[in-house]
Structure 1
Amino acid sequence: MIIGMGSDLCNIERIRNSLDRFGDRFEQRVFTEIEIAKARRRPFTIAGTYAKRFAAKEAFSKAVGTGFRRGVFMKHIGVVNAPSGAPTLALEGGAAQRLAEMVPHGHEPRIHLTLTDDHPWAQAFVIIEAYPL
């Protein structure tokens, strides 16, 4: 059963401006080490890479119904790739705790994430499913 759903649209140029203005401080405050490493391997599309991940973090915060409150922080939500290559989320801290609070007894969470971009926009959709054990 679906227990959460969120979406977000992010302007790639806004992320580019934050990178130009704040550089490493912006990256370290918002993104995980895995996300930073991936973006730096893509120097010509670094802003788009970050914008999709920024949108995914926003979409997850909407899917769990808290926004960035109650211990849910951007740095605790990381976009990673499943063995199949599909994007998914790795959670820690308050983000992982909030997800655990939402899942009914006898179920496990499954996070579905899709990312896309078409300059100047990046978009993410998150669906959180409670799957019976």
Structure 2
Amino acid sequence: MSSIAGIGTDLLRVDRIARIVDRHGDRFAQRILGADEQTVHARRAARDPRRGVLYLATRFAAKEAFSKAIGLGIHMPMTWSRVQILNRRGGAPEIHLSGPLKDWYDARFGAAHVSMTDESDVVAAFVVVESLSSQ
């Protein structure tokens, strides 16, 4: 039986992200998103710029929530692009880690679970990180 090692949440106003996108354009997406997320973002933004902003906002919030759940904030080895929030085939989001963050995380924690929601003006994310199971 696993136990909870950490919980993180984040609430974010969409207009905050929209203003950043207006000011910095694609540079913001490239800084915040991993390679796979950038591909999804580009498709969504091409269809509807608002969907692109919502995608950025939900991913930003989920990464903030994840960083809180693991107790690091945005400090090494935690970086924006080393955490990707990608949807499974059925649509549920899941956390994918890479590089030094994955190694650091795997030595300390078990499964991570993420939930995100968005409205026209706000997004929210909630992350639960399990303890390593004793074997």
Q: Fold conserved (TM > 0.5)? A: yes
* 1:115 shift after superposition: 0.5
1:95 aligned to which of 98, 101, 107? 101
Aligned residues: 128
1:55-75 CA-to-partner distances (Å, cap 9, x unmatched) read 000000000001011321111
Check whether the contact 1:64–1:102 (CA below 8 A) recurs between aligned residues. Answer: no
Residue aligning to 1:112: 113
Q: Which amino acid aligns with 2:124?
A: Q
Q: Which amino acid aligns with 2:125?
A: A
Structure 2, gaps ≥5 residues long: none
Residue aligning to 1:106: none
* 1:131 shift after superposition: 5.8
Aligned CA-pair RMSD: 1.6
Give the secondary-structure state (helix, strand or coil) at the position aligned to 1:28: helix
TM-score by length of 2: 0.85
> Measured at CA, do residues 5 and 98 of structure 1 come closer, stay the same or move farther in structure 2, by a change above 3 Å?
farther
Percent identity of paired positions between Structure 1 and Structure 2: 35
Check whether the contact 2:12–2:124 (CA below 8 A) recurs between aligned residues. Answer: yes
Check whether the contact 2:17–2:53 (CA below 8 A) recurs between aligned residues. Answer: yes
Q: 2:114 and 2:16 mapped to 1: Cα distance? A: 22
Check whether the contact 2:87–2:93 (CA below 8 A) recurs between aligned residues. Answer: yes
Residue aligning to 2:62: 56
Q: 1:131 and 1:82 mapped to 2: Cα distance? A: 23
* 1:84 shift after superposition: 3.6
Q: 1:79 and 1:91 mapped to 2: Cα distance? A: 9
Structure 1, gaps ≥5 residues long: 104-108
1:74 aligned to which of 51, 73, 80? 80
Moved more, 119-128 or 42-51: 42-51
Q: 2:38 and 2:68 mapped to 1: Cα distance? A: 23
Q: Which amino acid aligns with 1:81?
A: N
Residue aligning to 2:126: 125
Q: Which amino acid aligns with 1:93?
A: G
Residue aligning to 2:52: 46
